[in-house]
Amino acid sequence: MNVFEKAVELNQFLLSAREKGKSVGFVPTMGALHNGHSSLINKAKHENEVVVASIFVNPTQFNNPDDLKKYPRTIEADKELLQKNGCDVLFFPSIDEIYPQKDTTVFDLGGLDTLMEGKFRPGHFNGVAMVVKRLFEIVQPNNAYFGEKDFQQLAIIRYMVKSENLPVNIIGCPTLRETSGLAMSSRNTRLTEQEKAEAAAIYKALIEAKANTKTATPQKVKKIFEESIRQNPVFKFEYFEIVDSEALLPVEEWNSKRKAVGCVALWIRDVRLIDNIVF
């Protein structure tokens, strides 16, 4: 696996691949990699001749300085996982390499950034759009792969790519889960084994919510879910929304022609977790 810290060196390496007509698949990450990331690499490997992964903990998407400070950094283990899964290139840039000058871009994200996560993490998605666009400019991939666990982020990246007219195909990949049902996340490394076991209740509640859609209105499903979570003293509830999968607007009634998604955010101790389920 080739490792580059400078964009110019990465560009030189990828130029020869492009000149040979090879397609480039890209998996942008913030490190602390797990089997969910492995699945993205494997899909990219299956669909492209060259696979690039990036590891960059992006400061512009953290509205909480403590969250940025505590974000897990495991570069040696990450390199090992990428090599094991056949990743061809790792781009491991510094902050100055990504932001040689202060980036003050404010994106129009069509209001998708004001809902759910946007209410609780102001500026977060503008920071995400900022770094993803910058990485796309550097890597120039044909295809880019993102996990569906971050459902709102995926919708926003798709919107940004379309509005900015970027020549990248965005591919969403299914959420991988522990045997308990807990969605795989880099933040899970900050949970104790006991907390991981307790966090499995999130997915169980989502499964129950999906079952309830057969007999209850969206409003009733929301109420039952929230009551279930709030009864668990381990959790600090933040939100549960049932939204249209594209516009991310609240679903008032079930419509077989429009896919609805239930999205949740909550805290266990000082660790914030998100998850979702397609109804």
Which of the residues are catalytic?
A: 37
**Residue that the structure tokens 């295809």 belong to:** 143
**Which one-letter amino acid corresponds to residue 66?**
D
What phi, psi does 53 have (nearest 5°)? -115, 145
DSSP H helical segments within the chain, as ranges? 7-19, 35-47, 65-70, 75-84, 95-98, 117-120, 124-139, 151-163, 193-212, 218-230
Query: d(Cα 147, Cα 154) in Å, to the nearest integer?
Result: 8
Query: d(Cα 41, Cα 143) in Å, to the nearest integer?
Result: 12
